[in-house]
A and B are shown apart, each in its own frame.
Chain A
Amino acid sequence: MEPHAARVLVADDEDDIRGLVCLAVRRAGGTVVAEAADGPTALDAARSTVPDLAVLDVSMPGATGLEVCTTLRAEAATAGVRVLLLSAGASEEDVARGLASGADSYLAKPFAVAGLVARIRELTTGGTA
């Protein structure tokens, strides 16, 4: 067991999807430490409270999930944050671009909630779940 519930940042500009992701985080045993509806807010939130995992939508206003991910990786304080990208684009190109930005994992929308829970659990327990 982890010593503390994993701290997760959830960023998606769609309220309904964000609600679904937050629920999946809780089902995976994590805590949502911040929610964001755009890229810059997500970055600010990650800088002020460094999470264990950031679940980022790819197409967000202000900065895309890919840009947020690249910035997180570039800054020392957040370089170690694990990143799960969610995207409505599911082509191989999209996945390759996502992973090239430094993301640990990529999930295409629409996702099964059970699948998202499993993925979050994997990423917050270092793959030992």
Chain B
Amino acid sequence: MTTVEETPAALGEVDLLRAEVARLTAERDALRADMDRRDGELETAGRMLAARAQTMTSVIDAVTEQSIIGTDLDGVVRVWNPGAEKLLGLPRAEVVRRRLITDFHLAEELAAEGGGLHALVRLAQAEGRDVRDWTYVTAGGEERTVSVAVTPRSDDSGEHAGWNFVGTDMTEVRASERLKDQFVSLISHELRTPLSSILGYLELVLDDPDQPLTEEQRSYLGTVERNAQRLLRLVGDLLFTAQVEAGRFTLQPEDVDLAAVLRAAEENARVAAAAGDVRLDLDLPAADVVVAGDPVRLGQACDNLVSNAVKFTPAGGRVTLSLRAGWQAADGAFTEQPCPGGAPVARISVSDTGYGIPAAELDQLFTRFFRASTAKRNAVKGVGLGLSITKAITTAHGGSLDVVSAEGRGTTFTLTLPIPR
């Protein structure tokens, strides 16, 4: 054992050591207090997290009509809600960490898109989100059409950790859409067949040089023919509307001279305009205005606008058809001179001095079967398909259809179409 010599120097060292021990003890106590405090904080945070997770789980568990499936990056299922259990017929315990999302998809459908998980997530990866119909195959082997929204999932550090698949069963909805489509096709076929006979035999009677008709007979049969044609147009409009609804309306674009389209529309409306004592003016530019489009459909769109204008204009009024080539600025403004950042467009406008459309009804104007109150009040004939068809044709051409109207003063429809550069 060594003894410390009680010299003044040694005494000073002992005091120093004692002071150091006291400092360290105090520091230890402070650390311990800090640890206790942090423990408490951690416990609170843990409880909050658990509560939040519980909320999330209960929300996901409450979703019974949509399937919510979460996977890791390899497509292994990690989240499987009651909606998924109900739709696909397997309990969570049999799926989570044990099955791949692709196990529940129709293999041919995935193969057609390049196969595997990649087929499912390719667009969501590129665009952050993808919604479309996929075919799910249930545990019982039944196929269901499901609208699936695919989004990437990230972990707590913001790293991409997997994928979410939120699905809504659309099997019945799609089936009824198909049924409606088939019904419209069937009806239009069934109506067209007798109309073919009516119109064909009428033509034979009207054009028989060996047995000429009296003026009176000719006029009666002319009425029959006009009405048969009207029925035929209606059937065509219904069929076209159904095709647009089903997304089966496609264009085969070719160069279309819009001046010719407008001249034809003016000619087609001439008889009705004369009968209603409505003046019809045509205002065309000197140079050709050519767009890429379907001449028949564009003709139909212009015919609809012009015949509407004539129908909605009382005797003594005026309908003006005009065509201009110009530029459309980013804010939609139209100029006849090139403007910076503008796109070349053709602009068809059909103005009338007719009954006009109440401002409150303008929003619904392009809705199928909608009829303005001014149409009903003035007994203007129609079923309310023309403008929805015109709008669909315009949209399919990448154009826009606008309307300005003042009740009692008239209406102007403007159809703007892009001109290929």
Binding site for B on A (CB under 8 A): 14, 16-17, 20, 23, 59, 88-89, 91-93, 109-114
Contact = CB atoms under 8 A, between A and B. Distances in A.
A89 B232 CA distance: 13
19 contacts: A14-B196, A16-B197, A20-B201, A23-B204, A59-B189, A88-B192, A88-B196, A89-B189, A92-B250, A93-B248, A109-B193, A109-B196, A110-B192, A110-B199, A110-B200, A110-B232, A111-B196, A112-B203, A113-B200
A88 B185 CA distance: 10
B252 A110 contact: no
B10 to A, nearest CB: 109
Q: Which 7 A-B pairs have the closest CB atoms?
A: A110-B196, A16-B197, A88-B192, A109-B196, A20-B200, A88-B189, A110-B199
Max count, chain A CB within 10 A of own CB: residue among B189, B193, B203, B207: B193
Contacts of A16: 197, 200-201
Interface string B219-253: 00000000000001000000000010000101010
Given A91-B243, A92-B252, A113 B193 contact: no
B375 interface: no
Nearest to A23: B204
Interface residues of B, number: 19
Contacts of A14: 193, 196-197
A64 B193 CA distance: 16
B240 to A, nearest CB: 9
Contacts of A112: 199-200, 203
Contacts of B396: none
Interface of B: 185, 188-189, 192-193, 195-197, 199-201, 203-204, 207, 232, 243, 248, 250, 252
Chain B binding surface, main DSSP class: helix
Contact of A88 (B193, B199, B207): B193
Contacts of B250: 92
A54 to B, nearest CB: 19
A110 B250 CA distance: 23
Nearest to B251: A92
B97 to A, nearest CB: 47
Contacts of B203: 112-114
A114 B203 CA distance: 9
B251 to A, nearest CB: 9
Contacts of B188: 88
B211 to A, nearest CB: 15
A37 B362 CA distance: 51
A17 B196 contact: yes
Contacts of A111: 196, 200
B393 to A, nearest CB: 14
A17 B207 contact: no
B196 A113 contact: no
A78 B347 CA distance: 53
A89 B193 CA distance: 10
A12 B33 CA distance: 98
Nearest to A109: B196
B195 A113 contact: no
Max count, chain B CB within 10 A of own CB: residue among A17, A20, A88, A111: A88
A85 to B, nearest CB: 14
Max count, chain A CB within 10 A of own CB: residue among B195, B203, B207, B252: B203
